[in-house]
Amino acid sequence: MEIQLFIPCYIDQLYPQTAFNTIKVLERAGCKVHYNPNQTCCGQPAFNSGYWNEASVLAEKFLTDFNTEIPIVSPSGSCAAFVIHHYQKLLKDKPELSQKHILVKEKIFELSDFLVNVLKVEKLGSKFPYKVTFHDSCSALREYGLTDEARRLLSNVEGLELIEMEESDTCCGFGGTFAVKNNAISSAMAEKKVRNALETGAEFIVSTEASCLMNINGYCKKHNLPIKGIHLADILAEGL
The domain boundary residue, chosen from 94, 118, 142 = 118
Tell me the average pLDDT of the chain: 96
104 and 19 share a domain?
yes
Cα separation, 11 vs 28, in Å, equals: 21
Residues 146 and 184 in one domain: yes
pLDDT tens digits for range 62-75:
999 999 999 999 99
pLDDT tens-digit profile of 192-220? 999 999 999 999 999 999 999 999 999 99
In a domain, 125, yes or no: no
105-163 pLDDT tens trace: 999 999 999 999 999 999 999 999 999 999 999 999 999 999 999 999 999 999 999 99
Min mean pLDDT across 26-30, 172-176, 178-182, 219-223 is at 178-182
Domain count for the chain, please give it: 2
Q: Which residues contact 139 (CB under 8 A, 6 or more apart)?
A: 77, 78, 81, 82, 209
Residue 113 sits in the same domain as residue 160: no
Structural domain boundaries, residue 231: 131-236
Predicted model pTM: 0.95
Do 135 and 35 belong to one domain? no
The CATH number of the domain holding residue 214 is 3.40.50.1860
Q: Which of residues 118, 151, 186 is at a domain's end?
A: 118
Task: Choose one of 118, 144, 179: the last residue of a domain.
Answer: 118
Residue 61 lies in a domain: yes
> Is 183's pLDDT higher than 90?
no
Average pLDDT over residues 43-62: 95
Give the 3-state secondary structure of the chain: CEEEECCCHHHHHHCHHHHHHHHHHHHHCCCEEECCCCCCCCCHHHHHCCCHHHHHHHHHHHHHHCCCCCCEEECCHHHHHHHHHHHHHHCCCCHHHHHHHHHHCCCEEEHHHHHHHHCCCCCCCCECCCEEEECCCHHHHHHHCCCCHHHHHHCCCECCEECCCCCCCCCCCCCCCHHHHCHHHHHHHHHHHHHHHHCCCCCEEEECCHHHHHHHHHHHHHCCCCCEEEEHHHHHCCCC
Q: Are residues 9 and 94 in the same domain?
A: yes
Residues 209 and 148 in one domain: yes
Residue 182 scores a pLDDT above 90: no
Mean pLDDT for the stretch of residues 174-190: 85
